[in-house]
Chain A
């Protein structure tokens, strides 16, 4: 039997309104996950948050897939950083993803470090953290693990699956692998394969972690150290790719940090340096360095066309899912061109697809921000899908 640990969380007034429930489900060793690499992983645990209530017919569930450094705390105060949820503008009572009407599920991904099994988890064979003994996983493996969670919750068809960036990759994988279990899919600021440039940036990040002497070939837990500097540099480099030149210029320009003149040293003279250093050091407090290696690798391996005989359209053949593809004008990490490739593949199988490009100068991070046009699009799409699915719509509630 699966061990289930579920507890209502009422520490924070702000979290009560969204009907937060934090839970974990442990799948035993005799029900392992069969990974794309050919290896198996078991036992394994998935930690997840839910918001709102599942209706009697179990038709109002929305799965949210988080990005590389995201986690399951999508709409509640984060237990470590104490910041509001990373998509709390989008998800909550009366929000476009309305927790008054939908049962929202957000799991921590397989390979993550906030409760789901990952390289920092204890390897039952050794009694010590997996480290590099953790198998290399794929986006498909993450989705297969989520699929087990959805089965466990007794839900057959998800009303919607949505996510941005790596979350969007999971959305595409869900819609491709489990076609009849996804009514609506929203891949946001994402691509059907990871580009050479994106692999290159990830490799820089991984090399920064591995070059830190504290990394100890992934065995830092045993040595009681953490490759903080390496992971911080990886985060700093990655963070630049999430923004745009315009956004950096508007936010920082060449402004100096708490000083009136250059110091002729290598201190953080410029605001942008100080900002990046802060991003790096705070990230290290909440993220496992090995997790960062494994998850970036999973993204690099993602190629939905290659999984389907090098024809992306094959990934969606026979789909009845309604798609809403969203990109942002200033996102150079997952440019609109790559979203358009998804749309072309969906058109090639005459799928029901909406595609919008949102004007924003915030770069890739725009998908995390309250861009009114973006939210209006999501709300409109979700409402029309609700009407098609026979779920209550806003019009009916008025």
Chain B
């Protein structure tokens, strides 16, 4: 049965935070769903109608073989196919930094979902700043392990950068959670500067300022 957890790996902290933001029984699209860990978590714990898009063919096939509704596709290319507000939540977990056009992807996310949930690694973290300042080298951290020439992450940003893009896109930040490597939550309302300095990753729940249409 689907109720039986089929999680393959230890659950990621950002996935747990995202799951907290999702209402039970809702319709969810996970863009860049990987091996389907988040979709499975949401299906198991929140009984959502879970769909996914994933670039890697092998991962898509593994997802479908596990019974998840996933298509092979590209966040940069294929989101345009979806109608407005087709989902309650359009999710992008640790994927936006690997897209070619993050702004367009985010705009599509806000169009397809009544809410968008985005998690990303924070390039403003103090360890990254220190690497650059002291050693003059591109940072290498557990979140960003690849050297600059091999990294799939072409559009890295800081929490402050992301907040600015949200303002630019006329987007309301409904929730924002930064957390450190041990998974401890740092409420961002207290100080954006501190979160930007100490948060290794962040999860944002967003909606477009225009009131969402209730179906």
Residues of A within 8 A of B (CB): 322, 324-325, 343-344, 347-350, 352-359, 373, 376-377, 379-381, 383-384, 387-388, 393, 395-396
Contact = CB atoms under 8 A, between A and B. Distances in A.
B151 to A, nearest CB: 26
Contacts of B87: 350
Contact of A354 (B69, B78, B82, B86): B69
Given A348-B81, A350-B83, A356 B67 contact: no
B61 A373 contact: yes
Contact of B67 (A343, A344, A357, A387): A387
Nearest to B57: A357
B71 A352 contact: no
B61 A356 contact: yes
Contact of B70 (A344, A354, A376, A388): A354
A356 B64 contact: yes
23 contacts: A344-B81, A347-B78, A347-B81, A348-B81, A353-B71, A354-B69, A354-B71, A355-B60, A355-B71, A355-B73, A356-B60, A357-B57, A358-B61, A359-B57, A373-B61, A380-B67, A383-B67, A384-B66, A384-B67, A384-B68, A387-B67, A388-B2, A393-B1
Contact of B57 (A322, A356, A380, A395): A356
Interface of B: 1-2, 4, 49, 51, 57, 60-61, 63-73, 78, 81-83, 86-87
A377 B61 CA distance: 6
A294 to B, nearest CB: 35
A381 B81 contact: no
B82 A348 contact: yes
Given A348-B82, A377-B61, A380-B67, 14 more contacts: A325-B71, A343-B73, A344-B81, A349-B83, A350-B82, A352-B49, A354-B63, A354-B70, A355-B71, A356-B60, A380-B65, A381-B67, A384-B69, A396-B1
A388 B2 CA distance: 8
A376 B57 CA distance: 14
A377 B78 contact: no
A318 to B, nearest CB: 13
A349 B64 CA distance: 20
Contacts of B61: 356, 358, 373, 376-377
Contacts of B72: 355-357
Contact of A343 (B49, B63, B71, B83): B71
B82 to A, nearest CB: 5
Contacts of A395: 1, 4
Given A354-B71, A358-B61, A387 B1 contact: yes
Looking at A354, A376, A377, the one whose CB has the most chain B CB atoms below 10 A away is: A354
A377 B65 contact: yes
Nearest to A336: B72
B83 A348 contact: yes
Nearest to A352: B69
B65 A322 contact: no
Nearest to B79: A347
B64 A377 contact: yes
A350 to B, nearest CB: 4
A385 B78 CA distance: 25
Contacts of B86: 350
Contacts of A387: 1-2, 67
Given A348-B81, A376-B65, A384 B2 contact: yes
Contacts of B49: 352
A387 B6 CA distance: 14
Looking at B63, B66, B81, B83, the one whose CB has the most chain A CB atoms below 10 A away is: B81
Contacts of B66: 380, 384
Contacts of B71: 325, 343, 347, 353-355
Nearest to A385: B67
Nearest to A326: B64
Contacts of B2: 384, 387-388
A381 B69 CA distance: 8
B64 A354 contact: yes
Looking at B1, B65, B78, the one whose CB has the most chain A CB atoms below 10 A away is: B65
Which 5 A-B pairs have CB atoms at the shortest separation, nearest pair first?
A384-B67, A380-B65, A350-B86, A355-B71, A347-B81
Contacts of A356: 57, 60-61, 64, 72
A192 to B, nearest CB: 14
Contacts of B67: 380-381, 383-384, 387
A146 B188 CA distance: 60
A388 B65 CA distance: 15
Contacts of B63: 354
Nearest to B51: A352
A387 B73 CA distance: 26
A384 B63 CA distance: 11
A159 B209 CA distance: 42
B64 A380 contact: yes
A353 B71 CA distance: 7
Nearest to B65: A380
B26 to A, nearest CB: 13
B4 to A, nearest CB: 7
Looking at A325, A349, A356, the one whose CB has the most chain B CB atoms below 10 A away is: A356
Contacts of B70: 354-355
A108 to B, nearest CB: 30
Contacts of B64: 324, 354, 356, 377, 380-381
